[in-house]
Structure 1
Amino acid sequence: MVKLYTKKKWLEFQSEMSESHGYYVQQVFTEVDSVVYHVMKFQSSSSSKPRVLMHDKQRDYISCSCTKFDFEGIPCRHMLAFFRINQVFHLPDTYILKRWTRDVKIGAIYALGEQNYINDPDPERCLMSRHSRLSYKASILIDDASLTNEGTTFLDEQFDSIYNKIQEMNISRTCNDRSQKKKSVDEGLGIIDPSSVRTKGCGKRLKSSKEKSTSNSRLCRGCGHRGVSHDKRNCLTLQQGGSTEDTNHNIVDDMYEPDLTSIAGSNNMHW
């Protein structure tokens, strides 16, 4: 077993083998297809519970209630005690798991012309399986083709042709993945612009008093100018441009000419 197991598993197996010498096996009852044994320590107390070994006669397989073999992959001390008492000097292959052996890295053997796929949900393990299968088949072809010049030339040409086809397949797959991704995005819910929100300080500009007075002034339809309380009825330009222009002009002058007599009279009265 030291040549078969890895170093770590050999140390574990050696420890279990050493502990197995402190146990004895006692047959409890026998059935048609199986036999039940109790495995106890030599110095165990009466209150300690024994381990139960079940020997399946049809399969020629034993199992222990401690389940060490199921979890750690090496026979437990109770199973080794059973083998010792029954004079089993070579451990059966059923109890040797390949993942704990030294040749675990050799890998599986794949036959040419057969497709050995592993239905594994883990994509990384599935990739490793495909890579291992192709590497094994390619190595066989290289070994056989390298024996002759004709085989080497033929395989070299085939490798170039296969490489070009695989590149085309990868490019086509990449384009299809992009188109599918774009289609799925387009079929999704459309994103519309958010509703506009008035921010603080974006109201109308405050007008000055001059602008307010100009906006409130009326437009005269006679002269075209704007003014407060100014319209066609009291427009001075229209009044001055009629047949009574001079008369109106005098009236307007009289309206705006100060009364000097009244001013003088008021001054005399003041003094």
Structure 2
Amino acid sequence: MEIDSGDPSSIGCVERDLRNHERNMREEQKGHDAETLIEFFTLENEKSPNFYFEYELDDDNKLMRCFWADAESRRSYGCFGDVMVFDTTYNTNKYSMIIAPFVGVNNHGQTILFACGLMSNESTESFVWLFTQFLHAMSNQAPPLLITDQDAAIAKAISIVMPVTFHRFCIWHILNKFSEKINAMLYNEQYHRLVHIIKDSETPDEFERLWNEAMELTNLGCNEWLRSMYDIRSRWVPAVEEGADKSLLARHGLLEHKASILVDDASLTDARSTYLLGEFENLHLRVKEIDIVGNTGIPNYSSKSRESQQFIEDPSEVRAKGCGKRLKSSKEKAISKCNRQCSVCGVAGHDKRTCPTLNSRSNAFAYDMDNTSNEPGEHDTFTTIGSSNRQIGL
């Protein structure tokens, strides 16, 4: 602002004014976050009909879940949606709602976003709704391969909505649990060996042989968690995966190698390049006619209009099962400590050391002792007799 104005005195405001303006804007926005989000989605849909979104409200008109996918993400799914990764994250927003991105990898090895969702809970019903909206946005084309963690609700929802999709568990999540599920000494000694067996085995027979040898030598075969992971090895061990078309990568690699040789030879002269470019068009058309698998086009969807849109309440703050404990500030800790009750009188705000009741009793007892010591009695008589005996040498 100073550069645009040319002089600090020409800005017309100071830093405090900007902060006050930001505070006022936040106050105006308070209570309208969900409504603003849906308005933004509606405007995006008006600008681009291929922007897809959907949402649901609870009985109190509070936002319960929503889903969206823009035109570019939907086109990317048509090109790179053969393998998709789905996971949920926590503590990423003010209301602690679960954000659920659908991601993949493009031809440059870059992570790309296909779609995204927000949910207030991680029930099977929520995941079924989310996956259903995903299929609606992607022309009912389910991904051939879907990678997730071992969440039971996600697995059940996939079996309901995408029964033909090959569901695989993320090997990264499983390997990270080895340190928790295996004895510390055995983990330090055998972890790298187990990882080598899991990742580098080329055939199911090789994996079975090496795995059984490792279990016998290390006595890890008694570990219940490892046994449970072995029972579902086809879901996460690369060499034992069932149903997935492993020849796809081999075909792609072979064709890419042959094409690179052809391009290298054709690029040596202009005549070769011109001829190959002309043949590419004809060859591409002939290849597309051989086998057509489904339709990957993007249909137009008309989302809820702004005129029919009702007032939407902000979602309630939720606690997801994977969010962990919230870190408390020093102020919160001090306030919680003030609620402790005294073990003597039962009143909050102090402890036994500073209890006024106990202190008043102590003061009264000390006062009584002082008064008693000032009055003559048997103790004084014996003291006088003892003093007299000492004086006469008895």
Q: TM-score range by the shorter chain?
A: under 0.3
TM-score (normalised: structure 2): 0.16
Q: Which has the higher contact order (CA 8 A, sep 6+)?
A: 2
